[in-house]
Amino acid sequence: MSDIIIRPVVAADLPAVARLAGMLVRYHHDLDPRRYLFIERVEEGYARFLGGELADPEAVVICATRGAEIVGYAYGTLEGRDWNALLDRHGAVHDVLVDPEARGSGVGERLVLEACARLEALGAPRVVLHTAVQNAAAQALFAKLGFRATMIEMTREAGGGAR
């Protein structure tokens, strides 16, 4: 664990971070393909998207490295008031993923705490995140770090029923 460094993502990191982001997209899509988006060349899209976020002063894009290898990343943004969600100004952690070979070593915890600290330093009075209902391990980690459940998303396919 002491060999892990958490730092901001730089442009040269984008291919490795996008590989992890692709894993995150595939994980969710495999859970529920009707709910979670999947697009061809998702890594290229994520690299382009996160590359644009690097220039946003209200975005946090960080990675965990072990030596020269990127073993995890987190992405979050400072958000304003959201009337639809009944949520005042806040930080939002959108993505957290640790490479499967590095899981269980505390990397995820460090990434989440660092993302929260950076969002709070930007002025976020609270940080929210979403997790797949099936992802009990992530929910346990987030609860351990002080998050509490506040919203449950429910999805209904067109035409009714769960199918």
Instruction: Grade residue 160 by pLDDT with cuts at 50, 70 and 90.
Output: confident
Contact 63, 82 (CB under 8 A): no
Contact residues for 135 (Cβ-Cβ < 8 A; gap 6+): 31
Q: From the CB of residue 142, how many other CB atoms can be counted at a distance below 10 Å?
A: 20
Amino acid 114: pLDDT? 98
CA dihedral 147, 115, 13, 47 (to 10 degrees): 60
Amino acid 138: pLDDT? 95
Q: Model-level pTM?
A: 0.94
Amino acid 125: pLDDT? 97
Amino acid 1: pLDDT? 57
* End-to-end Cα distance, the chain: 44
Amino acid 159: pLDDT? 87
Continuous H helices in the chain: 14-31, 42-53, 107-121, 136-144
79: left (phi over 0), alpha (psi -120 to 50) or beta: beta
Burial (Cβ within 10 Å: 0-12, 13-18, ≥19) of residue 20 = buried
Residue 123, CB half-sphere, CA atoms under 13 Å: how many? 9
Instruction: Grade residue 135 by pLDDT with cuts at 50, 70 and 90.
Output: very high
Average pLDDT over residues 74-84: 97
Using one digit for the tens of pLDDT, what is the confidence trace for 85-117? 999 999 999 999 999 999 989 999 999 999 999
Average pLDDT over residues 34-58: 95
Average pLDDT over residues 115-126: 98
Amino acid 64: pLDDT? 98
Sheet holding 69-79, edge to edge: 4-8, 59-66, 69-79, 90-98, 127-129
Separation between Cα atoms, residue 120 and residue 86, nearest integer Å = 20
Average pLDDT over residues 134-158: 95
Residue carrying structure tokens 């061809």? 40
What domains sit in the chain, N to C, each tagged with a CATH number?
4-144 (3.40.630.30)
